[in-house]
Amino acid sequence: MTTPVVVFDVGGTLIHPDFVALRAWTVERTVTDISVMAVERAFRLAIAGNVFGSPEEESQTQATRFFSSCNCPIGLSRHWKEWWAAVVDSGGAGSWLYRVLDAEAVVTLLRLRELGCRLIAASNSDGTLMAELRSFDICELFDEVYDSAALGVSKPSLEFYQRLLLPQRSGAAVHVGDDLIKDVIAATAAGFGRVLLYDPVGIYSGVPSHVRIRQLSEIPDAMGMD
Protein backbone atom coordinates (compact mmCIF):
# COMPACT_ATOMS: atom_id res chain seq x y z
CA MET A 1 0.00 0.00 0.00
CA THR A 2 1.35 3.45 -0.96
CA THR A 3 1.97 5.82 1.95
CA PRO A 4 -0.13 8.99 1.53
CA VAL A 5 2.06 12.06 1.06
CA VAL A 6 0.86 15.57 1.94
CA VAL A 7 3.00 18.55 0.91
CA PHE A 8 2.34 21.85 2.68
CA ASP A 9 3.16 25.36 1.62
CA VAL A 10 4.25 27.30 4.72
CA GLY A 11 3.85 31.08 4.50
CA GLY A 12 0.17 31.97 4.23
CA THR A 13 -0.93 28.37 4.78
CA LEU A 14 0.59 27.13 8.04
CA ILE A 15 2.17 30.37 9.24
CA HIS A 16 0.20 33.57 8.70
CA PRO A 17 0.94 37.25 8.78
CA ASP A 18 -0.02 39.02 11.99
CA PHE A 19 -2.90 40.94 10.46
CA VAL A 20 -3.36 43.08 13.58
CA ALA A 21 0.23 44.26 13.15
CA LEU A 22 -0.26 44.71 9.40
CA ARG A 23 -3.35 46.83 10.02
CA ALA A 24 -1.42 49.06 12.44
CA TRP A 25 1.42 49.32 9.90
CA THR A 26 -1.02 50.28 7.14
CA VAL A 27 -2.93 52.83 9.22
CA GLU A 28 0.30 54.46 10.39
CA ARG A 29 1.35 55.13 6.80
CA THR A 30 -1.94 55.91 5.15
CA VAL A 31 -4.20 57.22 7.94
CA THR A 32 -6.84 54.85 6.57
CA ASP A 33 -9.49 53.41 8.88
CA ILE A 34 -9.76 49.72 8.04
CA SER A 35 -10.65 46.54 9.89
CA VAL A 36 -8.26 43.66 10.52
CA MET A 37 -10.45 41.36 8.41
CA ALA A 38 -10.38 43.82 5.51
CA VAL A 39 -6.59 44.03 5.74
CA GLU A 40 -6.32 40.23 5.58
CA ARG A 41 -8.56 40.11 2.53
CA ALA A 42 -6.58 42.91 0.84
CA PHE A 43 -3.32 41.10 1.59
CA ARG A 44 -4.48 37.76 0.24
CA LEU A 45 -5.89 39.43 -2.89
CA ALA A 46 -2.59 41.23 -3.38
CA ILE A 47 -0.38 38.15 -3.23
CA ALA A 48 -2.58 36.04 -5.51
CA GLY A 49 -0.20 34.79 -8.21
CA ASN A 50 0.01 36.33 -11.67
CA VAL A 51 1.46 33.85 -14.13
CA PHE A 52 1.89 36.48 -16.84
CA GLY A 53 3.68 39.27 -14.98
CA SER A 54 7.43 39.79 -14.57
CA PRO A 55 8.78 40.05 -11.00
CA GLU A 56 9.00 43.83 -11.40
CA GLU A 57 5.43 44.08 -12.68
CA GLU A 58 4.22 41.67 -9.99
CA SER A 59 5.59 43.85 -7.20
CA GLN A 60 3.84 46.94 -8.56
CA THR A 61 0.62 45.02 -9.15
CA GLN A 62 0.63 43.59 -5.63
CA ALA A 63 1.22 47.01 -4.09
CA THR A 64 -1.62 48.52 -6.11
CA ARG A 65 -3.98 45.65 -5.22
CA PHE A 66 -3.23 45.91 -1.52
CA PHE A 67 -3.45 49.66 -1.00
CA SER A 68 -6.36 50.08 -3.39
CA SER A 69 -8.27 47.32 -1.60
CA CYS A 70 -7.56 49.12 1.68
CA ASN A 71 -9.08 52.28 0.15
CA CYS A 72 -5.86 54.19 0.72
CA PRO A 73 -5.72 57.73 -0.72
CA ILE A 74 -4.59 57.66 -4.35
CA GLY A 75 -2.41 60.66 -3.62
CA LEU A 76 -0.08 58.35 -1.67
CA SER A 77 0.34 55.89 -4.57
CA ARG A 78 3.88 57.10 -5.24
CA HIS A 79 4.86 55.41 -1.96
CA TRP A 80 2.97 52.17 -2.42
CA LYS A 81 5.66 50.10 -4.09
CA GLU A 82 8.29 51.12 -1.54
CA TRP A 83 5.98 50.37 1.38
CA TRP A 84 4.92 47.04 -0.11
CA ALA A 85 8.55 45.94 -0.41
CA ALA A 86 8.77 46.00 3.40
CA VAL A 87 5.85 43.55 3.50
CA VAL A 88 6.85 41.05 0.81
CA ASP A 89 10.48 40.93 2.00
CA SER A 90 9.41 40.08 5.54
CA GLY A 91 9.16 36.27 5.31
CA GLY A 92 11.38 33.64 6.89
CA ALA A 93 12.64 33.10 10.42
CA GLY A 94 12.37 36.15 12.66
CA SER A 95 9.87 37.92 10.41
CA TRP A 96 8.13 40.97 11.87
CA LEU A 97 4.99 39.95 9.99
CA TYR A 98 4.78 36.15 9.56
CA ARG A 99 4.46 35.26 13.23
CA VAL A 100 1.06 33.59 13.66
CA LEU A 101 0.76 29.81 13.54
CA ASP A 102 -2.60 28.71 12.15
CA ALA A 103 -4.86 27.72 15.03
CA GLU A 104 -5.49 24.32 13.40
CA ALA A 105 -1.97 23.61 12.15
CA VAL A 106 -0.73 21.35 14.94
CA VAL A 107 -3.92 19.35 15.40
CA THR A 108 -4.21 18.83 11.63
CA LEU A 109 -0.60 17.76 11.19
CA LEU A 110 -0.91 15.35 14.11
CA ARG A 111 -4.15 13.92 12.72
CA LEU A 112 -2.57 13.33 9.31
CA ARG A 113 0.36 11.55 10.96
CA GLU A 114 -2.08 9.38 12.90
CA LEU A 115 -3.69 8.48 9.58
CA GLY A 116 -0.30 7.31 8.27
CA CYS A 117 0.57 10.25 6.06
CA ARG A 118 4.09 11.32 5.22
CA LEU A 119 4.29 15.11 5.69
CA ILE A 120 6.48 17.52 3.76
CA ALA A 121 6.96 21.27 4.12
CA ALA A 122 7.94 23.00 0.88
CA SER A 123 8.08 26.75 0.43
CA ASN A 124 9.70 29.68 -1.29
CA SER A 125 12.01 30.91 1.44
CA ASP A 126 15.33 32.62 2.08
CA GLY A 127 17.19 29.64 3.47
CA THR A 128 15.61 29.90 6.93
CA LEU A 129 12.63 27.59 6.49
CA MET A 130 13.90 24.98 8.97
CA ALA A 131 14.59 27.69 11.55
CA GLU A 132 11.14 29.15 10.99
CA LEU A 133 9.44 25.79 11.52
CA ARG A 134 11.52 25.19 14.66
CA SER A 135 10.52 28.59 16.06
CA PHE A 136 6.89 27.45 15.94
CA ASP A 137 7.73 23.96 17.31
CA ILE A 138 6.40 22.15 14.24
CA CYS A 139 9.62 21.12 12.49
CA GLU A 140 9.55 17.64 14.02
CA LEU A 141 6.11 17.01 12.54
CA PHE A 142 7.54 16.92 9.01
CA ASP A 143 9.41 14.06 7.40
CA GLU A 144 11.13 16.37 4.92
CA VAL A 145 11.59 20.10 4.42
CA TYR A 146 12.28 21.76 1.06
CA ASP A 147 13.50 25.37 1.05
CA SER A 148 13.62 27.07 -2.37
CA ALA A 149 16.88 28.81 -1.48
CA ALA A 150 18.54 25.45 -0.80
CA LEU A 151 17.03 23.87 -3.93
CA GLY A 152 18.07 26.73 -6.19
CA VAL A 153 14.59 26.79 -7.78
CA SER A 154 11.31 28.23 -6.55
CA LYS A 155 7.57 28.05 -7.12
CA PRO A 156 5.90 27.99 -9.55
CA SER A 157 8.69 26.34 -11.57
CA LEU A 158 8.11 22.78 -12.74
CA GLU A 159 11.55 21.77 -11.47
CA PHE A 160 10.67 22.79 -7.90
CA TYR A 161 7.72 20.41 -7.81
CA GLN A 162 9.50 17.62 -9.66
CA ARG A 163 12.22 17.69 -7.00
CA LEU A 164 9.52 17.05 -4.41
CA LEU A 165 7.76 14.29 -6.31
CA LEU A 166 10.77 12.28 -7.48
CA PRO A 167 11.65 10.83 -4.03
CA GLN A 168 8.00 10.02 -3.38
CA ARG A 169 7.45 8.12 -6.64
CA SER A 170 3.75 8.74 -6.24
CA GLY A 171 1.23 10.62 -8.35
CA ALA A 172 -1.13 10.30 -5.39
CA ALA A 173 0.67 13.02 -3.44
CA VAL A 174 -1.50 15.90 -2.20
CA HIS A 175 -0.38 19.52 -2.21
CA VAL A 176 -1.90 22.15 0.10
CA GLY A 177 -1.29 25.86 -0.44
CA ASP A 178 -2.90 29.28 -0.50
CA ASP A 179 -1.92 30.51 -3.98
CA LEU A 180 -3.93 29.49 -7.07
CA ILE A 181 -1.02 29.82 -9.50
CA LYS A 182 2.00 28.80 -7.41
CA ASP A 183 0.35 26.11 -5.30
CA VAL A 184 -2.55 24.71 -7.31
CA ILE A 185 -1.97 25.12 -11.03
CA ALA A 186 1.80 24.57 -10.84
CA ALA A 187 1.51 21.53 -8.57
CA THR A 188 -1.17 20.01 -10.79
CA ALA A 189 0.98 20.52 -13.88
CA ALA A 190 3.90 18.82 -12.12
CA GLY A 191 1.88 15.65 -11.50
CA PHE A 192 0.37 15.90 -8.04
CA GLY A 193 -2.63 13.60 -7.82
CA ARG A 194 -4.61 16.06 -5.72
CA VAL A 195 -4.34 19.75 -4.82
CA LEU A 196 -6.16 21.70 -2.12
CA LEU A 197 -6.42 25.48 -2.15
CA TYR A 198 -6.44 26.99 1.33
CA ASP A 199 -8.81 29.96 1.01
CA PRO A 200 -9.76 31.18 4.51
CA VAL A 201 -11.42 34.45 3.43
CA GLY A 202 -13.08 33.24 0.23
CA ILE A 203 -11.18 35.20 -2.41
CA TYR A 204 -11.24 32.24 -4.83
CA SER A 205 -15.00 31.72 -4.96
CA GLY A 206 -14.80 30.77 -8.65
CA VAL A 207 -12.61 27.73 -7.93
CA PRO A 208 -14.56 24.43 -7.66
CA SER A 209 -15.57 23.68 -4.08
CA HIS A 210 -13.89 20.24 -4.03
CA VAL A 211 -10.54 21.99 -4.49
CA ARG A 212 -11.01 24.70 -1.84
CA ILE A 213 -10.79 24.43 1.93
CA ARG A 214 -11.53 27.22 4.41
CA GLN A 215 -9.83 25.50 7.37
CA LEU A 216 -6.84 23.18 7.66
CA SER A 217 -8.94 20.72 9.67
CA GLU A 218 -10.89 19.98 6.49
CA ILE A 219 -7.87 18.30 4.86
CA PRO A 220 -8.39 14.69 6.08
CA ASP A 221 -12.01 14.73 4.98
CA ALA A 222 -11.12 16.32 1.63
CA MET A 223 -8.64 13.45 1.13
CA GLY A 224 -11.33 10.91 1.99
CA MET A 225 -9.47 9.78 5.11
CA ASP A 226 -11.91 10.86 7.83
Q: Flag whether pLDDT at 30 surpasses 80.
A: yes
Stretch 154-159: mean pLDDT, rounded?
A: 91
Question: Where residue 31 falls among pLDDT bands split at 50, 70, 90?
Answer: confident
In this prediction the pTM is: 0.92
Under 8 Å CB-to-CB from 3, ≥6 apart: which residues?
116, 117, 118, 170
Residue 171 scores a pLDDT above 80: no
What is the mean predicted confidence (pLDDT) over 100-116? 97
**CATH 3.40.50.1000 given to domain 5-15+98-222:** yes
Omega within 30 of 0 (cis) for the link into 73: no
Q: What is the mean pLDDT of the chain?
A: 90
CA distances, 76 to each of 30, 32, 68, 84, 124 (Å): 7, 11, 11, 12, 30
Q: Which one is predicted more confidently, 154 or 3?
A: 154
Query: How much is the average pLDDT of 171-179?
Result: 88
Residues 143, 6 contacting (CB under 8 angstroms): no
In which element (H, E) is residue 92 found? Answer: none
Of 168, 224, 169, which is closest to residue 196 (Cα–Cα)?
224
Residue 96 has pLDDT above 80, yes or no: yes
Q: What is the 3-state secondary structure (H, E, C) of 117-133?
A: CEEEEEECCCCCHHHHH
Q: Which residue has the higher pLDDT, 91 or 66?
A: 66
Over residues 199-208, the mean pLDDT reads 92
Closest to 143 in 3D by CA, of 162, 120, 116, 167: 120
Indicate if the pLDDT at residue 16 is higher than 60. yes
Q: CA–CA separation, 111 vs 123, rounded Å?
A: 22
Kindly give the residue spans of alpha helices, DSSP state H, lying in 48-98.
55-69, 77-88
CB 26 within 8 Å of CB 32: yes
Q: 53 pLDDT exceeds 90?
A: no
The proportion of the chain whose per-residue pLDDT surpasses 70, expressed as a percent, equals 93
Is 67's pLDDT higher than 80?
yes
CA distances from 210 to 6, 76, 78, 133, 187 (A): 17, 41, 41, 29, 16
pLDDT reading at 57 higher than 90: no
- Residue 50 has what pLDDT? 61
Q: What Rg do the C-alpha atoms of the chain give, in angstroms?
A: 17
What are the domain boundaries of the chain? 5-15+98-222, 19-88
Is the pLDDT confidence value at 24 over 90?
yes
Average pLDDT of the segment spanning 51-78: 83
Distances (CA, A) of 80 to 28, 36, 137: 13, 19, 35
In terms of Cα–Cα distance, which of 7, 94, 87, 85 is closest to 40? 87
Q: How far is CA 52 from CA 28, 55, 152, 154, in A?
A: 33, 10, 22, 16
Q: Are 180 and 152 a contacting pair, CB within 8 Å?
A: no
